[in-house]
Amino acid sequence: MTQSGFIFDVLIPMGKIIAVILYPMIMTIIMIWLERRVVALMQRRLGPNRVGFQGILQPFADAFKLFFKEDIMQTQADRLLFRVAPVMVMFSSLLAFCFVPLGEPIRIGTYRLTLWIAESPVGLLLVLGLSSISVFGVIFGGWASNSKYPLMGALRSVVQILSYEIPIGLTVLTVIFFARSIDLVEIVNHQLHSGIWFGFMLPVSFVVFWISAIAETNRAPFDLPEAESELVAGYHTEYSGMKFAFFYIAEYAHMVLVSSLVVIMFFGGWLAPFPNVPAFAFLKVVPGFVWYLIKIMFFLYLYVWIRATLPRYRFDELIRLAWKWLIPLSLVNFIVVAVIRYVL
Amino acid sequence: MSKAGRFLKSFFLVDILRGLAVTLRYYFGRKVTIQYPEKVQPVPERFKGILRLYKYAEGKPLCIACKACQRACGTNCFDIEGVRDPETRAMRPVKYDWKLDRCTFCGLCVEACPTTPKAIRFSEEFRMATADKSRLLFHMEDMYLTGPELQKYLRGGSKP
């Protein structure tokens, strides 16, 4: 094997794999800090600001605590499923990151470095499918705990995710209609060529997708599966130590994943604002993945912002919102977009 | 509001956007947190902190060893002895023991104190934690301590 072949065939893929594992972890750490600080500031508090600069090392302190915590499994738990559940949740959200591009391809000489592990022609379907697998981890964890609150949390989670998958699917279809592709890279390229981001072309799709995505990731105001005031901590009540940390990291990784999807589908991925307007060409000085990260951070901030603003839904309201509002709305939106796309 | 108006209002998420605007305003607004060890919240006017003895401005003690506080105390916190000063013919305390662990902060001793201004009063000090139980017994010289000296006394030799 030649030296350059070794670099291209072994080192670069390994580097990508490490990056794909590290990226959600680093984003999780940033998110935990961001969430605690932003929610505190919105409640007129200061939040953690002692550990490191402005409290940035607080998540590391929490992580160290979880590392050294006793790993408890109660005697009546289903031993196999109890161990499998956190791995499954973590696995599904990490695997989905393989198909999410982290930026546009970078040219180094003649070599084209792609910032994704796998470009699949059905990337969007794969990502949505993999992110739905995590619900198995949730219900396994709730069932295996052999305790009533985790089971109730898991059941709520299943009902919620099943309900909100439908509007997600219907709104994703409208994006696919316009891009004529399920490939995530192609969707971004189509937005480059058409010169308008799909978020401005399909505002209803974006809003419905975003509301459903918040429900899909079990975040406030739809955080019923882990409602502290009702269910202790929901499906991960009986978990401690690193098993709990897996659930925790997976939840945040899922948020990063959904934010990436929103940015790719509706806000032009790694494209600079106004990609085809010559007057704004100076914005392209900033590399694509930086734009991409800025946009993702905005949506992660929006997650926290919404959490700090809205109270939790009641369960019947949650289901009513999905079946009486979002699903009919996304159906109408789907038909209208399909007709427009057919006529154009 | 009409039914159609309500529908439009919820359809365009007006209330949710308004709520987001409120939290954003708070985000940039003034914060109410007082960062404790560096900054201490001022206590209320009639706050009952730790009991302490006071002196005249020129340094003479106010206490006349009348034992009114000792008699008023419901939990026997005090152990006071006084002698008559041969020159001024006034009573002065030579022993003034007070037990912080017994005190209920009822304030009867302060009410009973006959001098003006009162010799025994509640201070504004609320930090009374100690790791050494023997430090809960205050002798006469300890009753005049305030601030850092009081903290030093309470912590004893365990920590500076």
More confident residue, A272 or A197: A197
- Estimate to the nearest angstrom the gap between the alpha carbon of B3 and the chain centroid: 58
Token pair 């269910």 is at which residue?
A231
Question: Three-class SS of residue B92?
Answer: strand
Asked if A44's CB is within 8 angstroms of B32's CB, the reply is yes
Per-residue pLDDT band for B158 (boundaries 50, 70, 90) equals low
Q: Work out the average pLDDT over A8-13.
A: 76
Asked if A179 and A196 count as a contact pair (C-beta separation under 8 A), the reply is no
Nearest C-alpha of chain A: how many angstroms from B31? 5
Residue A275: pLDDT band with limits 50, 70, 90: low
For residues B108-137, average pLDDT: 86
| Interatomic CA distance for residues A185 and A193, integer angstroms | 13
Percentage of chain A lying above the pLDDT 70 cut: 95
Q: Is residue A134 within 8 Å of A97, Cβ to Cβ?
A: no
In the predicted model, what is the mean pLDDT of residues B10-34?
86
**Contact of A89 with A15, CB cutoff 8 Å:** no
pLDDT per position as a tens digit, A175-188: 888 888 888 888 88
Question: CA B31, CA A39: separation in Å to the nearest integer?
Answer: 12
d(CA A225, CA A255) in angstroms, rounded, equals: 16
Average confidence (pLDDT) over A243-261: 87
Residue A232 to residue B97: CA distance in whole angstroms: 50
Q: What residue type is assigned to position A274 of the chain?
A: F
d(CA A208, CA A273): 23
Contacts of A41 in chain B (CB under 8 A): 26-27, 31
- Which among A41, A207, A310 has CB closest to B27? A41
What does the CA dihedral A172, A173, A177, A180 come to, rounded to 10 degrees? Answer: 70
Specify the higher pLDDT residue, A115 or B25: B25
Element (H, E) at B137: strand B137-138
| A40 within 8 A of A47, measured Cβ to Cβ | yes
User: What are B52's two structure tokens?
Assistant: 């302490």
Tell which residue, A163, A179, A200, has the closest CA to residue A323. Answer: A163
pLDDT level of residue A27 (50, 70, 90 thresholds): confident
pTM of the model: 0.80
A84/chain B closest Cα distance in angstroms = 39
Q: Which residues of B touch A306 (CB under 8 A)?
A: 20
User: Which tops the pLDDT comparison, B135 or A285?
Assistant: B135
Mean pLDDT of all residues in B124-136: 83
d(CA A15, CA A312): 41
Cβ contact A103:A68 at 8 Å: no
Q: Which residue of A has its CA nearest to B35?
A: A46
**Concatenated DSSP letters for A114-132?**
-SSS---TTHHHHHHHHHH
DSSP string, B114-134: -SSS-SEEE-S------S-GG
pLDDT grade for A146, boundaries at 50, 70 and 90: confident
CA A122 to chain centroid, in Å, comes to 18
How far off is chain B from A267, nearest CA to CA, in Å? 20
- pLDDT for A147: 83
Which range among A59-63, A190-194, B124-128 shows the weakest confidence by mean pLDDT? A190-194
| Amino acid letter, B78 | F
Does A45 sit within 8 Å of B31, measured CB to CB?
A: yes
* Chain A: residue whose CA lies nearest to B10: A325
Nearest to A196 by CA among A258, A262, A124, A271: A271
Residue A152, Cβ neighbours under 10 Å: how many? 20
Residue B72 has pLDDT above 80, yes or no: yes
Average pLDDT over all residues of chain B: 85
- Token pair of A62 as six digits: 């929490």
Neighboring chain A residues of B23 at a CB cutoff of 8 Å: 42, 305, 308-309
Q: What is the CA radius of gyration of chain B?
A: 27
- Residues A101-119: tens digit of each pLDDT: 877 777 776 777 777 777 7
Would you give the distance in Å from CA B106 to the centre of its chain? 13
Q: Using the beta-carbon criterion (under 8 Å), do B32 and A308 form an inter-chain contact? A: no
Nearest CA in chain B to A211: B13
Q: CA A298, A217, A66: angle at the middle one, nearest 5?
A: 90
Q: What is the distance between the alpha carbons of residues A157 and B72, in angstroms, rounded to a whole number? A: 64
Partners of residue B98 on adjacent β-strands:
B78, B138
Q: Per-residue pLDDT for B1 more than 50?
A: yes
Q: Is B53 helix (H, G, I), strand (E, B) or coil?
A: strand
Q: How far apart are the C-alpha atoms of A94 and A254, rounded to whole Å?
A: 9
Q: Quick: pLDDT tens for A331-343.
A: 998 899 888 888 8
pLDDT confidence band for A163 (50 / 70 / 90): confident
Q: How close does chain B come to A208, measured CA to CA in Å? A: 11
Predicted confidence band of residue B157 (pLDDT cuts 50, 70, 90): low
Rg (CA), chain A: 21
Region A190-206: what's the mean pLDDT?
A: 81
8 A C-beta contact, residue A74 and residue A146: yes
Who wins on pLDDT, A193 or A334? A334
Give the pLDDT of residue B160.
46
A313-324: per-residue pLDDT in tens? Answer: 888 888 888 888
**Tokens 């998420």 belong to residue:** B13
Task: Please check whether residue A171 is in contact with residue A326, taking contact to mean a CB–CB distance below 8 angstroms.
Answer: no
Predicted confidence at residue A1, as pLDDT, reads 54
Q: Using the beta-carbon criterion (under 8 Å), do B26 and A43 form an inter-chain contact? A: yes
Quick check: A269 pLDDT over 80?
A: no
